[in-house]
Amino acid sequence: MMISEDVLKTYTAINDNVQTNELRYCILTSQQIQIQETLGTNLYNKMLDLISTGDIQLGVNSNYKTLLDTYIQPALVNYSYYMALDNFMVKFMSVGLVQNRSEQGNSIDFKTFQFLKQNAKDQAEFSDNLLRRHLIFRSGLYPEYNNGNLNDGQLPPETKTAFSSNITLPGTGYYYSRKKGYNDMGYLCGDSGFPTWYGHTSNS
């Protein structure tokens, strides 16, 4: 793992009494999905090799050590916390999904949970964005970032911004009404408040 369970506890609101095996899944899944997507499979595997052998501590690998400490770990901490919120909201039990409760506290409402999730997501994406910018502008420090065979299931590094917006679906009026004389985009945008020229077929 690129961070330990103790590091995750130290830099998030996760209590010290949480068992480490409860956090391991969150860390591994976050780094396999989010961090691998940003690094690309080749650089991701290089980092794992250096960490597992301990060679990342060698002076010759100082660039990779800086990448890990300054950029990867903050992003991974935030992504792991983001995922942990789901895992600690409910648990798989023999009777099915059960919401966690405690004698020492009250369970939060869903609106508060959504706020915490969004806040964690924002922090994770911000840290991930810093990581991606560093890799783009300092790609020469990491040969594996742009090199290697990508034909065997490896992921290329993702260079677009890490920030993502939620999908917004149109309301029912979108399909059944149209403001006459105001919008010429057809039924898809029939009740849109946009002026006629916005997204018109004659405009790019």
The predicted-structure confidence for 140-172, as pLDDT tens digits, reads as follows: 999 999 876 666 678 888 888 777 655 444 444
Confidence check: pLDDT of 175 > 70: no
Residues 50 and 69: their CA atoms lie apart, in Å, by: 13
Largest CA distance in the chain: 70
Tokens of 99: 């919401």
Assign 18 a pLDDT band (cuts: 50, 70, 90): confident
Higher pLDDT, 46 or 174: 46
By CB neighbour count within 10 A (0-12 exposed, 13-18 middle, 19+ buried), where does 105 fall?
exposed
The predicted-structure confidence for 40-76, as pLDDT tens digits, reads as follows: 999 999 999 999 999 999 999 999 999 999 999 999 9
Read off the pLDDT of each residue in 72-83 and give the average, rounded to a whole number. 95
Least Cα distance to 65 among 80, 77, 55 occurs for: 55
Domain residue spans in the chain? 5-145, 170-204
Q: What is the DSSP letter of 105?
A: B
The predicted-structure confidence for 92-143, as pLDDT tens digits, reads as follows: 554 444 565 555 556 677 788 888 889 999 999 999 999 999 999 999 999 9
